[in-house]
C-alpha cells in the first residue's frame, strides 16, 4: 500500500500535537507485512495507530477506554476476528470494528454486520474505501461515547432516588393518581406530592411525559397502554 495525502479531521493541529486526546486506530493482523503496510498507510493519512499481531495481543494490551476503532483481520489463529468482536461486545465500551479479509464469504460477512461491524472489506479494496470506513468508525465511536455518557448520567440521576421514591415513581408511571398512590402505599396524599416533587427535581424533569421518557432510557418498564397522567 502507498501513502495518501493527510485526511482532515483526525488530528487536532491547533495548540500543538494533542496525542493524548487523539482517537487511535488499532490494527490487528497476524500477517506481518500487511500489518506494516496498513500502519504506514494510516499514519501517512494522519491517524494515530497501534498494531497487534493477534487478537490475544490486542486484548492483553487493551487497558483503557481511549477513543478509537479496531481494524481486524477476519481469519487469525486461536482467536479470529469474529471471536474478538464477540469478546468486545461483552465489555461496557465496545469499540467500532472494521473487518478486513483476503477471502470474503457471505456467512462471515452477515455475522460480522449483525454483530455491529462498521464495514466488511476485502484486503484488496481501494485505499480510499478503507480510509472512508475508518473515518466512519471513528465518527461512530464519538457518537456512541456521547450516548453512553448520556445513559450513565441518567443512571446516576436515578441512583439519587430513595427506595420509597422508587415505589412512588413506579405507580406514577402506571398512571396512578396521587390519591390512588397514597392508598396503595398507605401514606398521606400530601406525602405523595412531596415525593413526586423530589423525584422530578432529582431527575431534572418538569413533566410526567419527560419523566416517562427518562424512565424508559433507564430501563424502567413503560406504563400500560391507555394510562393517563396527572
Pair 133, 175 in one domain: no
Secondary structure, 3-state, the chain? CCCCCCCCCCCCCCCCCCHHHCCEEEEECCCHHHHHHHHHHHHHCCCEEEEECCHHHHHHHCCCCCCEEEEEECCCCCCCHHHHHHHHHCCCCCCCEEEEECCCCHHHHHHHHHCCCCEEEECCCCHHHHHHHHHHHHHHHHHHHHHHHHHHHHHHHHHCCCHHHHHHHHHHHCCCCHHHHHHHHCCCHHHHHHHHHHHHHHHCCCCHHHHHHHHHHCCCCCCCCCCCCC
In a domain, 9, yes or no: no
Pair 142, 205 in one domain: no
Res 218: pLDDT: 82
Pair 206, 181 in one domain: yes
In a domain, 225, yes or no: no
Is there a contact between 84 and 98 (Cβ–Cβ < 8 Å)? no
Pair 126, 170 in one domain: no
- Residue 77: give its domain's CATH number: 3.40.50.2300
pTM value is 0.72
Pair 116, 203 in one domain: no
What pLDDT tens digit does each residue of the chain (230 aa) get? 433 333 333 443 333 444 556 899 999 999 999 999 999 999 999 999 999 999 999 999 987 678 999 999 999 988 999 999 999 999 888 999 999 998 778 888 898 999 899 999 999 899 999 999 999 999 999 999 999 889 889 989 999 999 999 999 999 999 899 999 999 999 999 999 999 999 999 999 999 999 999 988 887 765 554 444 44
Domain limit, last residue, from 150, 183, 198 = 150
Residue ranges making up the domain that contains 114 = 19-150
d(CA 158, CA 229): 20
In a domain, 1, yes or no: no
Res 164: pLDDT: 94
Pair 137, 196 in one domain: no
Domain limit, last residue, from 99, 126, 150 = 150
Res 134: pLDDT: 96
> Helix, strand or coil for residue 16?
coil
Domain limit, last residue, from 120, 150, 180 = 150
Domain count of the fold of the chain: 2
Amino acid at each position: 500500500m502507498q501513502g495518501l495525502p493527510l485526511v482532515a479531521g483526525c488530528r487536532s493541529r491547533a495548540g500543538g500535537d494533542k496525542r493524548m486526546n487523539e482517537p487511535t486506530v488499532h490494527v490487528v493482523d497476524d500477517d506481518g507485512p500487511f500489518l506494516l503496510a496498513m500502519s504506514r498507510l494510516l499514519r501517512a493519512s494522519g491517524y494515530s495507530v497501534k498494531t497487534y499481531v493477534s487478537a490475544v495481543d490486542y486484548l492483553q494490551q487493551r487497558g483503557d477506554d481511549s477513543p478509537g476503532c479496531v481494524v481486524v483481520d477476519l481469519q487469525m489463529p486461536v482467536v479470529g476476528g469474529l471471536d474478538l468482536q464477540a469478546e468486545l461486545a461483552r465489555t461496557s465500551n465496545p469499540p467500532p470494528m472494521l473487518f478486513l479479509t483476503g477471502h470474503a464469504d457471505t456467512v462471515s460477512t452477515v455475522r460480522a454486520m449483525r454483530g455491529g461491524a462498521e464495514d466488511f472489506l476485502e484486503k484488496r479494496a481501494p485505499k480510499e474505501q478503507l480510509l472512508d470506513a475508518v473515518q466512519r468508525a471513528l465518527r461512530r465511536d464519538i457518537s456512541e461515547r456521547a450516548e453512553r455518557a448520556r445513559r450513565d448520567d441518567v443512571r446516576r440521576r436515578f441512583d439519587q432516588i430513595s427506595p420509597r421514591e422508587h415505589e412512588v415513581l413506579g405507580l406514577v408511571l402506571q398512571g396512578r393518581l396521587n390519591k390512588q398512590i397514597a392508598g396503595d402505599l398507605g401514606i398521606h396524599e400530601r406525602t405523595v406530592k412531596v415525593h413526586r416533587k423530589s423525584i422530578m427535581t432529582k431527575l431534572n424533569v418538569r413533566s410526567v411525559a419527560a419523566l416517562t421518557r427518562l424512565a424508559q432510557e433507564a430501563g424502567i418498564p413503560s406504563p400500560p397502554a391507555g394510562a393517563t397522567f396527572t
